[in-house]
A and B are shown apart, each in its own frame.
Chain A
Amino acid sequence: MIQSSVPDGIPTEHAINFPFLTLAEFSEACERFLPRLHHSGITSRLLPSTEKDLFDGIEVTTVREHHAFTVITKAFVLLSPIYSLPVLYFSSTYTNLQTGESTPITLVEDVYRYVVASPSQISILKNPTIPAVSASGAISQCEHPLYHDLLCFYIHPCRTSDVMNTLNADPEKPGITLQSYLALWIGVVGPTVGIAIRE
């Protein structure tokens, strides 16, 4: 979808309305986060925005290698215009190593089967005690917000604000900065698509 924005001021070190981010704050957080991804050997790039000097987000490519198949996932860290929170969108392709045939993954069950590598992450995503989560878990299919002709999946952001607030609540520590925001956030959603950053 086309992001419709009102001009923001230059971001300071902290999000003004934590955990919610303005476009400028999110763009800044993306720029600060990219080196962490590269340092962890993760293929990623910033997505330039039509807005001058801003970025729409980050595109990350991950590969899951299994003896019988390979799954390539393109993940997008984008700012939801609805929630003002980062949301992880992703689309994956499954390649059968025996036949060489590749098919896009379009069923949520297949996302759980082939994309989400860890059983513990699956149970987190499907945790029914969190009412925000739909029956199928925290993942839904949707129309891609940037590339309108594409379909993808996204992880529901309803938990994001709770998790970020919890992480931010430690009185021993200073508040989460834009520098560290996405590195902490990716700890929550990253495992779904195989993104894990080094300390």
Chain B
Amino acid sequence: MSVSSTSIASSDLRRKVWDGVIPLQIILAPDECRVLDVDPFYINATRVSYLPQYFSRIIAYFEPFLRDHAASLSPEWWLDFEGVPLRWNWPIGLLYDLLTGLDPTQGDGPEHDWHLPWTLILHHSQYPSDILLRLASDSALKEQWMNRVKEADFIRRGNANAVMSLSKTDSDEMWAGVGEHNFDKFWDIAKKILPPDPYTLRHIPIKIYLPSSNKMLQALVPPSISPRELHTVGTALHAHLPQLFPSRRTCLLARPVLHGVILNMAIPLAELLYECMYTDGYLHICITMIS
């Protein structure tokens, strides 16, 4: 990735990130079904979107088979993967990479289980409100997303003025870009709140997710270590997780994964942000252990 490619003009990589999908196989939980043998529902979910965005389509499919019809009118559905309730406020790509323990280097072996399509169980009853945020209103997802967008803006600039001063039209348009999965709708507005030069940012919005736990590290990483040295994936991980990343250049114990790809330790973080950020403005990076 060269410095000259860093601009907010459209980039191939940004488009590829946007187009990434995880095929889902949704199975209705037996205790929600009126009948036996309901076929699963299949859908390609985009990595940068959120599970609740698919609920109306999923519930519409299962509606004829529901034991409790009133449930189809309620927004508070939930999904589990191997018994683990899925955090609907985390992007789907992040959930998949983290929970399947994705190790992209293992893909060539015939034994490797990619968990594709990703099989999830759909529930309505007994919402795990000790584990999952409430999804009781139609605006719950937008509110959570907006909180992250404002945080990311604050991290980038030291204030959230850019996001706050978006007109309501622009702000709605940006959210519509997420909701409709429309690249141009989203990026036309997102570009307005990103400074043209990523090296002028105060810090890079980044969250690092540790494997097999709910631990998430909120790290404040500036774009540069010094006027001559940029923060790379490797230097940032070494600074904030030295036990897992004793080397700044080589992955010895663990690997960073973003959008299903192992990150090269030499990539400058500022450029990675501008090419590969999620819609909330963050780099959500998950760590997988080297087996």
Contact = CB atoms under 8 A, between A and B. Distances in A.
Interface of A: 1-4, 81-83, 104, 106-108, 131-132, 134-136, 140-143, 145, 148-149, 151, 156, 158
Interface stretch (B11-19, B64-72, B149-157): B149-157
Interface in B120-150: 129-134, 136-137, 139, 143-144, 146-147, 150
A74 B165 CA distance: 35
B216 interface: yes
A145 B214 CA distance: 11
Given A4-B220, A148-B213, A148-B214, A104 B147 contact: no
Contact of A83 (B146, B154, B164, B214): B154
Given A82-B155, A134-B143, A151-B130, A158 B218 contact: no
Nearest to B214: A148
B266 interface: no
B220 A158 contact: no
B245 to A, nearest CB: 13
A132 B151 contact: no
A188 B159 CA distance: 20
Interface residues of B, number: 29
A149 B214 contact: yes
B218 A151 contact: no
16 contacts: A2-B215, A2-B218, A4-B217, A4-B219, A4-B240, A82-B151, A82-B154, A82-B220, A83-B154, A104-B130, A108-B134, A140-B147, A143-B133, A148-B214, A148-B215, A151-B131
A158 B85 CA distance: 31
Contacts of A104: 129-130
Tell me whether chain A's interface is mostly helix, strand or loop, or mixed: loop
Interface in B248-265: none
Contacts of A108: 134
A143 B214 contact: yes
A158 B150 contact: yes
Contacts of A82: 151, 154-155, 218, 220
Contacts of A156: 147
A106 B137 CA distance: 13
B289 interface: no
Contacts of A140: 143-144, 147
Contact of A1 (B136, B155, B160, B216): B216
A106 B129 CA distance: 7
B214 A135 contact: no
A145 B67 CA distance: 38
Given A1-B218, A4-B217, A151-B132, 6 more contacts: A2-B215, A3-B218, A131-B164, A142-B147, A143-B216, A151-B133
A141 B133 contact: yes
A71 to B, nearest CB: 17
A22 B266 CA distance: 30
A81 B216 contact: no
B164 A132 contact: yes
Contacts of A83: 151, 154
